[in-house]
A and B are shown apart, each in its own frame.
Chain A
Amino acid sequence: MANKEEILDAAKKVAVKAAEAALDVAGKVLDKAAEALEDAKEAQQAEAPKAEAPKAEAKPAAKKEAKVITPKDAKIPEGPLELKWTNYKNHQKLVNPANKRRLDVIVVGTGLAGASAAASLAEMGFNVLNFCIQDSPRRAHSIAAQGGINAAKNYQNDGDSVYRLYYDTIKGGDYRAREANVYRLAEVSNNIIDQCVAQGVPFAREYGGLLDNRSFGGAQVSRTFYAKGQTGQQLLLGAYSALSRQIGKGKVKMYTRYEMLDIVMIADENGEKRARGIIARNLVTGRIERFFAHAVVVGSGGYGNTFFLSTNAMASNGSAAMQMYRHGAYFANPCYAQIHPTCIPKHGDFQSKLTLMSESLRNDGRIWVPKKLEDAKLLQAGKIKGRDIPEEDRDYYLERRYPAFGNLVPRDVASRAAKERCDKGYGVNNTGLAVFLDFSDAIQRLGKDVVAQKYGNLFQMYEKIVDENPYENPMMIFPAIHYTMGGIWVDYELQTSVKGLFCIGEANFSDHGANRLGASALMQGLADGYFVLPYTIQNYLADQIGVPRMSTDLPEFAEAEKAVQEKINKLMAIQGKRSVDSIHKELGLIMWDFVGMGRTAEGLKEGIKKIDAIKKEFWTNVYIPGEANSLNNELEKALRLADFIEIGRLMAVDALHREESCGGHFREEYQTPEGEALRQDDKFSYVGCWKYTGEDSEPELIKEPLDYEFTERKTRNYKN
């Protein structure tokens, strides 16, 4: 099978590479050589991957301190990688149509994950209650995704396959994702494209009438499907139309302008607590309301707005995740956050968000800074423009450092490379925090019209914000927080460590490891919502058919509501001096400076202290105007900020504990002489799951070891 051959071939390459690397540095650093040897040894072992499997349980048992999640706990099905999902579906429990009607499912969120799940569950016959913060389900943050969605169709005949998409995703994630989940994701990716086309999603097409593809970072094939620069919009509108159809039929009850504030847990006859409903605030009236369901599915998106400035929408938040966490759902890998290399640089203190320039621009745009410091100084002083600098004085640093992938290296690599140049003084705008993304070559090669057709709406967006024409002068870009790979831990069924509580989309931790590849979040959101959760949740619900609908007058509901009310009252009573935003901005700066692109033990410790101080400031000095029981935006923001502060701390704690660099998590102490991330596979090849232990008490670390049974781990190489 191509599969095995590829592994063997790759193994050989790594062995050679490791030996070369060893030779390279042996003279300088002895222990570096030892590491390279380790790599080579690992590469050899990859030939017999099965032999490693039993180690999964043996290894952690030796360490007593941390609790361990086994593959069995994670419900990973038996069998070879490519048969696991089929095996699972063949053996899972299903719910018959008559019983489906008797079961209620709450879905929180109407992004790609939530909308597709709600629609699919309703089509199957379940009663769905669907919630979102915005005034319409169509406005969830997924709408803003620009570039595209991956699938292993191999329509371009460039050698793509399910295995290759799986492999690129695992490698792109720096070997910190679960093999079985990622393989399933690659497997269902093709169904997503079929589904979307059937819904009338107007993907871009070639002149022959077939679907077109483009390339994204971290891949050497063209597997990205797109709809102009509005792929997320079109996919979400597809899911929204399916959802609308079910709302029209009365199978989904839609609650817009509602925000979940807690999950309600009710013990079963064995005393085991299960998620049985939610408490939500009607954002128009301010009323707190109770909702029952047999299971709760959360697709609430990522927590990138912890940084205040990010590419996320204003209402994107981490509160739903924190509510799950406080009920015992593990928060996995909170420190894995993605910094996107191509965003419009910050321009002032009043700034409310950062705007992404799609990664697709790196297909044709070339990234550079001046070679000479004196040119950079002139640019910073506004005395010259990018176009004034002659070709020979430009440093296309990505092409220089990574000849094989060039401008299409993964995001973490591109972001760090930009930071490195700017730190050395080569930044190209007035703050010195920007690099050029230049289309002059592409315009010469393809003509302005073709470039306009491909990227016109992005160029327009840029011009409106920056007031400069990117056809004439290179764009200025800089990294910004964009996506969070970390999130609520879920097993293979997408169930959290709390019974009856499921988590999908960006809100869970599952498929991207330490770094997500471009165009893979849309794929994951829709995979979870259309093709995974609607199956796996039945394995749970099949045991719940005897559970009657419960009254929301039960004491568990009353207590949950009371706790929410008390928290709100406490916030309203502070009546301090600071606006919510002013405190959030301060938190954001701390996150960027201490928990951002380059992290150190010292910096993280300092960051934690500063976050603790912010928490105190918030709970003693925030000012919220208006009433709690009416429409109150400031109160909404305050409730979210209270949770962002906790998440920020959790990110720092996790980053401090993870003494290695991997993907989006870069600890400056762990890098190669060339400044590349240095993983510590012997120590940190696990999912770091944090368990809540109480307010103001340190969380407990639980590990899910990542034993690569089928794929050989290598040092990521985008150079050759």
Chain B
Amino acid sequence: MDQYIDIKVRVWRQAGPKAQGHFETYELKHVFQGASFLEMIDILNEQLVAEHKDPVTYDHDCREGICGMCSMYVNGHPHGPDSAITTCQLHMRKFKDGETITVEPWRSRAFPVIKDLMVDRGAYDKIMQAGGFVSVNTGGVPDANAIPIPKPVADEAMDAASCIGCGACAAACKNGSAMLFVSAKVSQLALLPQGKVEAAARAKAMVAKMDELGFGNCTNTGACAAECPKSVSLANIARLNREFLCAKFQD
């Protein structure tokens, strides 16, 4: 059963992109374990506002694990210690009375801190703009059932497509590589007949953009998939490598 607990929250505070950051520790009493992690941060912020202090800035929106906005490093793990969930789906029942919880922003060269726990993940959008699409315009497309797609293939594409673009993969990676994110999109589209036509060119364009934006190289440590809230599989990286080789071969 959920109880009330007293905790300490050790939060990264950083006034702006160029400012020097530091940890600040706050005490929170009587927090219900049924509250979500972000609701706990809300309670902390209410407390800070009441004391006329600056509340902790952090990204969040849907609060149900789908928008990919929330992005906290909790006790050394992106999205916290629980598996296959986002920070907003984490609940206080995962923490014990008296515990000190450390909260940091994503730390990755390609994701500069904007303020406190909020980072700039614009680099992921740029990678998508480089090739994460099928080149079709609105209108003039064939009937949706014109090309049957085997269910296992459609299901595999769906699994790859479930990536929420949160950035935990790059944040978890010691090299700061975005391979899991990029490979998920490349895989989804390469699996489907609609996206297959451009598969090799897409892989090349997206990887080139990723390198250009300062993401590191993939050395197959697997940290990304272990921390990914949507359990996006490492098999996607293998598929990306195949598409990428294919593209090189064509050159």
Contact flags A439-473 to B (C-beta < 8 A → 1, else 0) = 00000000000000000000011001101000000
- The smallest beta-carbon distance between A76 and chain B, in angstroms, is 24
Is A531 in the interface zone, CB < 8 Å from B? yes
Is B235 in the interface zone, CB < 8 Å from A? no
Alpha-carbon distance between A254 and B125 when the two chains are bound, in angstroms: 11
Q: In the bound complex, do residue B151 and residue A209 qualify as a contact, i.e. CB atoms below 8 Å apart?
A: yes
Q: In the bound complex, do residue A313 and residue B61 qualify as a contact, i.e. CB atoms below 8 Å apart?
A: yes
Given known contacts A205-B149, A211-B144, A461-B89, is B138 in contact with A195 (CB within 8 Å)?
A: yes
Q: In the bound complex, do residue B35 and residue A244 qualify as a contact, i.e. CB atoms below 8 Å apart?
A: no
Q: In the bound complex, do residue A228 and residue B52 qualify as a contact, i.e. CB atoms below 8 Å apart?
A: no
Residue of A nearest to B133 (CB): A241
Chain A residues whose CB sits within 8 angstroms of the CB of B162 once the complex forms: 228, 230, 233
Is B134 in the interface zone, CB < 8 Å from A? yes
Alpha-carbon distance between A631 and B118 when the two chains are bound, in angstroms: 11
Alpha-carbon distance between A633 and B58 when the two chains are bound, in angstroms: 9
Contact flags A102-125 to B (C-beta < 8 A → 1, else 0) = 000000000000001001100100
Contact flags A564-585 to B (C-beta < 8 A → 1, else 0) = 0000000000000001011000
Given known contacts A200-B195, A204-B154, A209-B151, is B63 in contact with A353 (CB within 8 Å)?
A: yes
Segment of B5-13, B41-49, B95-103, B213-221 engaged in the interface with chain A: B41-49
Q: In the bound complex, do residue B161 and residue A234 qualify as a contact, i.e. CB atoms below 8 Å apart?
A: yes
- The smallest beta-carbon distance between B213 and chain A, in angstroms, is 14
Chain B residues whose CB sits within 8 angstroms of the CB of A242 once the complex forms: 133, 136, 138
Q: In the bound complex, do residue B128 and residue A244 qualify as a contact, i.e. CB atoms below 8 Å apart?
A: yes
Q: Which of B101-123 contact A (CB under 8 A)?
A: 114-115, 118, 120-122
Q: In the bound complex, do residue A143 and residue B34 qualify as a contact, i.e. CB atoms below 8 Å apart?
A: no
Q: In the bound complex, do residue B141 and residue A350 qualify as a contact, i.e. CB atoms below 8 Å apart?
A: no
Chain A residues whose CB sits within 8 angstroms of the CB of B132 once the complex forms: 241, 244
Q: Which of B160-203 contact A (CB under 8 A)?
A: 161-162, 164-165, 188-189, 192, 194-195
Is A247 in the interface zone, CB < 8 Å from B? yes
Chain B residues whose CB sits within 8 angstroms of the CB of A355 once the complex forms: 63-64
Q: Which of B37-78 contact A (CB under 8 A)?
A: 38-39, 42-43, 46, 48-50, 52-55, 57, 59-69
Q: Place the interface of chain B in its size category.
A: 35 or more
Q: In the bound complex, do residue A144 and residue B66 qualify as a contact, i.e. CB atoms below 8 Å apart?
A: yes
Chain B residues whose CB sits within 8 angstroms of the CB of A233 once the complex forms: 66, 162, 164
Segment of A133-141, A179-187, A334-342 engaged in the interface with chain B: A133-141
Alpha-carbon distance between A581 and B121 when the two chains are bound, in angstroms: 27
Given known contacts A200-B188, A202-B192, A579-B49, is B145 in contact with A210 (CB within 8 Å)?
A: yes
Q: In the bound complex, do residue A198 and residue B67 qualify as a contact, i.e. CB atoms below 8 Å apart?
A: no
Is A314 in the interface zone, CB < 8 Å from B? yes
Chain B residues whose CB sits within 8 angstroms of the CB of A633 once the complex forms: 55, 57
Quick one: which of B66, B120, B149 contacts A135, CB cutoff 8 A?
B120
- The smallest beta-carbon distance between B43 and chain A, in angstroms, is 6
Residue of A nearest to B195 (CB): A200
Chain B residues whose CB sits within 8 angstroms of the CB of A210 once the complex forms: 145, 148
Quick one: which of B52, B89, B154 contacts A625, CB cutoff 8 A?
B52
Residue of B nearest to A196 (CB): B144
Alpha-carbon distance between A351 and B67 when the two chains are bound, in angstroms: 19
Q: In the bound complex, do residue B35 and residue A348 qualify as a contact, i.e. CB atoms below 8 Å apart?
A: yes
Q: In the bound complex, do residue B134 and residue A241 qualify as a contact, i.e. CB atoms below 8 Å apart?
A: yes
- The smallest beta-carbon distance between B85 and chain A, in angstroms, is 6
Is A315 in the interface zone, CB < 8 Å from B? yes
Alpha-carbon distance between A284 and B15 when the two chains are bound, in angstroms: 12
Alpha-carbon distance between A204 and B156 when the two chains are bound, in angstroms: 11
Quick one: which of B2, B61, B66, B68 contacts A467, CB cutoff 8 A?
B2
Q: Which of B236-250 contact A (CB under 8 A)?
A: none
Chain B residues whose CB sits within 8 angstroms of the CB of A460 once the complex forms: 84
Residue of B nearest to A210 (CB): B145
Chain B residues whose CB sits within 8 angstroms of the CB of A193 once the complex forms: 144
B interface, over-half SS: loop
Q: In the bound complex, do residue B144 and residue A144 qualify as a contact, i.e. CB atoms below 8 Å apart?
A: no
Q: In the bound complex, do residue B121 and residue A197 qualify as a contact, i.e. CB atoms below 8 Å apart?
A: no
Q: In the bound complex, do residue A625 and residue B53 qualify as a contact, i.e. CB atoms below 8 Å apart?
A: yes
Is B26 in the interface zone, CB < 8 Å from A? no
Alpha-carbon distance between A256 and B123 when the two chains are bound, in angstroms: 13
Given known contacts A136-B125, A464-B89, is B194 in contact with A197 (CB within 8 Å)?
A: yes
Q: In the bound complex, do residue B63 and residue A352 qualify as a contact, i.e. CB atoms below 8 Å apart?
A: yes
Q: In the bound complex, do residue B32 and residue A350 qualify as a contact, i.e. CB atoms below 8 Å apart?
A: yes
Is B137 in the interface zone, CB < 8 Å from A? yes
Q: In the bound complex, do residue B55 and residue A139 qualify as a contact, i.e. CB atoms below 8 Å apart?
A: no
Q: Which of A259-285 contact B (CB under 8 A)?
A: 284
Alpha-carbon distance between A579 and B69 when the two chains are bound, in angstroms: 24
Quick one: which of B52, B67, B85 contacts A134, CB cutoff 8 A?
B67
Q: In the bound complex, do residue A313 and residue B138 qualify as a contact, i.e. CB atoms below 8 Å apart?
A: no
- The smallest beta-carbon distance between B197 and chain A, in angstroms, is 11
Is A620 in the interface zone, CB < 8 Å from B? no
Contact flags A623-656 to B (C-beta < 8 A → 1, else 0) = 1011000010110000000000000000000000
Alpha-carbon distance between A396 and B46 when the two chains are bound, in angstroms: 43
Is A216 in the interface zone, CB < 8 Å from B? no
Is A175 in the interface zone, CB < 8 Å from B? no
Quick one: which of A197, A241, A348 contacts B32, CB cutoff 8 A?
A348
Q: In the bound complex, do residue A208 and residue B42 qualify as a contact, i.e. CB atoms below 8 Å apart?
A: no
Alpha-carbon distance between A209 and B149 when the two chains are bound, in angstroms: 4
- The smallest beta-carbon distance between B240 and chain A, in angstroms, is 16
Is A546 in the interface zone, CB < 8 Å from B? no
Residue of A nearest to B61 (CB): A313
Alpha-carbon distance between A155 and B145 when the two chains are bound, in angstroms: 9
Q: In the bound complex, do residue A350 and residue B42 qualify as a contact, i.e. CB atoms below 8 Å apart?
A: yes
Is B233 in the interface zone, CB < 8 Å from A? no
Quick one: which of A139, A206, A244, A254 contacts B67, CB cutoff 8 A?
A139
- The smallest beta-carbon distance between A67 and chain B, in angstroms, is 37
Given known contacts A209-B149, A227-B158, is B134 in contact with A194 (CB within 8 Å)?
A: no
Alpha-carbon distance between A228 and B154 when the two chains are bound, in angstroms: 11
Alpha-carbon distance between A579 and B45 when the two chains are bound, in angstroms: 10
Residue of B nearest to A206 (CB): B151
Q: In the bound complex, do residue B39 and residue A352 qualify as a contact, i.e. CB atoms below 8 Å apart?
A: yes
Given known contacts A136-B121, A155-B145, A202-B188, is B65 in contact with A461 (CB within 8 Å)?
A: yes
Contact flags A127-149 to B (C-beta < 8 A → 1, else 0) = 00000001111110101100000
- The smallest beta-carbon distance between A144 and chain B, in angstroms, is 5
Is B234 in the interface zone, CB < 8 Å from A? no
Is B223 in the interface zone, CB < 8 Å from A? no
Is A96 in the interface zone, CB < 8 Å from B? no
- The smallest beta-carbon distance between A463 and chain B, in angstroms, is 10
Residue of B nearest to A314 (CB): B61
Chain A residues whose CB sits within 8 angstroms of the CB of B67 once the complex forms: 134, 139, 141, 143-144, 313
Is A240 in the interface zone, CB < 8 Å from B? yes
Chain A residues whose CB sits within 8 angstroms of the CB of B134 once the complex forms: 198-200, 241
Alpha-carbon distance between A139 and B69 when the two chains are bound, in angstroms: 7
Given known contacts A464-B91, A625-B53, A634-B49, is B42 in contact with A581 (CB within 8 Å)?
A: yes
Residue of B nearest to A344 (CB): B64
Quick one: which of A199, A461, A531, A579 contacts B194, CB cutoff 8 A?
A199
Q: In the bound complex, do residue B91 and residue A198 qualify as a contact, i.e. CB atoms below 8 Å apart?
A: no
Alpha-carbon distance between A574 and B203 when the two chains are bound, in angstroms: 54
Q: List 19 A-B contacts (CB under 8 A).
A: A135-B120, A136-B122, A139-B62, A144-B62, A198-B134, A198-B141, A200-B157, A200-B188, A209-B149, A247-B129, A461-B65, A464-B82, A464-B91, A531-B139, A579-B49, A623-B49, A625-B52, A625-B54, A631-B118
Residues of A within 8 A of B (CB): 116, 119-120, 123, 134-139, 141, 143-144, 153, 155, 191, 193-200, 202-211, 227-228, 230, 232-234, 237, 240-242, 244-245, 247-248, 254, 256, 284, 313-315, 347-348, 350-353, 355-356, 460-461, 464-465, 467, 530-531, 534, 579, 581-582, 623, 625-626, 631, 633-634
14 extra interface residue pairs, beta carbon distance < 8 Å, beyond A625-B53, A625-B54, A625-B55: A116-B138, A134-B67, A135-B69, A135-B121, A139-B62, A194-B144, A202-B188, A203-B154, A210-B145, A241-B133, A350-B43, A352-B36, A467-B91, A579-B49
Q: For the complex of A and B, list the 9 residue pairs with the smallest distance between their C-beta atoms, beginning with the closest.
A: A209-B148, A241-B133, A248-B129, A198-B141, A202-B158, A202-B157, A197-B144, A120-B138, A139-B67
